[in-house]
Amino acid sequence: MKPARRLVALAAVVLLATAGCAGAESGSSGPIKVGSVNALSGAATFPEASQAAKAVFDAANASGGVNGRQLEYKALDDKGDPAAAAAAAREVVGRDEAVALVGSSSLIECEINNKYYEQQKILSIQGIGVDPACFTSPNIAPANVGPYHDMTLTLLYGSETLKLNDICALLEIAGNTLPSYQAAIDEWSAITGKKLKYLDATVPYGGSDYTSYIVKARNAGCKAITVNPVEPDSIGQLKAAAAQGWNDVTWLLLTSVYSENYAKAITNAGAGVYVPAEFYPFTDSTSPQNKDWRELMTKNNIPLTSFSQGGYLAAKYFLDVVKGIKGDVTRESVTKALREMQPITDPMVGTPYVFGPGQTHHDNTAGWPIKLASGTNKWELVGDDWLRIPKK
């Protein structure tokens, strides 16, 4: 071989060897990259979920990481904008080559990105699933119950535990959520044999005055109302009812209003606001169920909310599964492990978590009943066990 050709061949061998070493380092000893797509700015924000997931990963890193490898976590903002949600997913999945998404929380993220996740063969343990695609995609499995099972649960509590009749629904519909809420109501009807007395699916998000909707519901003979509101809307609806002197109506709401700020803002709750909390109630400050979560959130100055509970659990589930992987931690090995995992039981939830091989993931079906009464400004537990949707 001529000297020039010998040098070229030698250089090629060195280059290949160097590339092989770099690949081995980034795969087996470099950081384990994990991402999330979240509503961190915009009309409705959920920053606590990804903050909680990061706190879990930071604590794991401080204890040596996963088999000596550190976790590198990136939480991106979708701004409530479809284009931003798509761009954020492509950054963490495509450019950063994350092994999974963990702790995401957004109003639109699942709907925008679920097909992309399927194409890229990556799985997402959503901290808080909201839109229907979070629960109907083979590649997304939220840690929370979700608003649709939440509505079935609140209706079950109202009709079967509180023995209420003449239950009505005022629905705030965004995007394609109406069929999912209708399915939740139909599930309650199938279980109980009961029907709503009145349904209005035209209630707006962010309405300036809910008086007309409240008046129509009262005239329809409603004794209890289920609503799927965000906190400001619910406050406006309860104030509108109080202004009409309608103080004997029971409110069957969702976890979306479960916060200490909401409780402080409500003076007249009618016959009571009832909610099936998606995780063990965080307002029970002495509960052993929430002890580890509460301590970690407090240490990191993260608000104690259902959103931070969801992000915390999503990260814990991910770590439990990844620590059991034999060999390299890659997107492929993480996906395989999540598909084949055994159910994980945690005292913060009433249903074991499992990702599994299913084409849909809507398996969390338990909530803990809590109540907000007029004049108390505090949530209280009204059950001694989880309320569950009966298995079919």
Confidence class for position 18, pLDDT limits 50, 70, 90: very low
Q: Of the candidates 150, 309, 307, which has an alpha carbon nearest to the alpha carbon of residue 228?
A: 150
Report the alpha-carbon distance of residue 141 to residue 114 in Å, rounded: 11
337: confidence class by pLDDT, cuts 50, 70, 90? very high
CA nearest to 127, candidates 160, 105, 95, 152: 105
Q: What is the mean pLDDT of residues 100-121?
A: 97
Residue with tokens 């909707």: 213
167-172 and 198-203 as β-strands: parallel, antiparallel, unpaired? Answer: parallel
Q: What is the mean pLDDT of residues 228-246?
A: 96
Average pLDDT over residues 266-277: 98
CA distance 361 to 354: 9
Round to whole Å and give the CA distance between 266 and 234.
10
Residue with tokens 């537990």: 381
Q: Is residue 24 scored above 60 in pLDDT? A: no
**How far, in Å, CA of 109 to CA of 127, rounded?**
12
Percent of the chain with pLDDT over 90: 89
Residue 170, pLDDT above cutoff 60: yes
Residue 43 has a pLDDT of 77
Please answer whether residues 271 and 392 qualify as being in contact, where contact means their C-beta atoms are separated by less than 8 angstroms: no
The one-letter code for the residue type at 223 is K
Measured CA to CA, the distance from residue 251 to residue 253 in angstroms comes to 6
By CB atoms closer than 10 A (0-12, 13-18, 19+), residue 113 is buried
Q: Is the pTM of this model over 0.85?
A: yes
Quick one: pLDDT band at residue 92, thresholds 50, 70, 90? very high
Nearest to 122 by CA among 343, 342, 361, 334: 334
Once rounded to an integer, what is the mean pLDDT over residues 96-125? 97
Query: Which DSSP category does 167 fall into?
Result: E
Mean pLDDT in residue range 146-165: 98
What are the C-alpha distances in Å from 319 to residues 44, 48, 76, 324? 29, 19, 20, 9
Q: Quote the mean pLDDT of the chain.
A: 92
What stretch of H or E contains 10?
helix 3-24
Beta strands in the chain (DSSP E): 32-38, 71-77, 100-102, 124-125, 167-172, 198-203, 224-227, 250-252, 273-277, 366-372, 379-381, 387-388
Q: How confident is the model at residue 42 (pLDDT cuts 50, 70, 90)?
A: confident
pLDDT of the residue at 45: 86
Q: How far, in Å, CA of 227 to CA of 181, rounded?
A: 10
- What was the pLDDT predicted at 26? 37
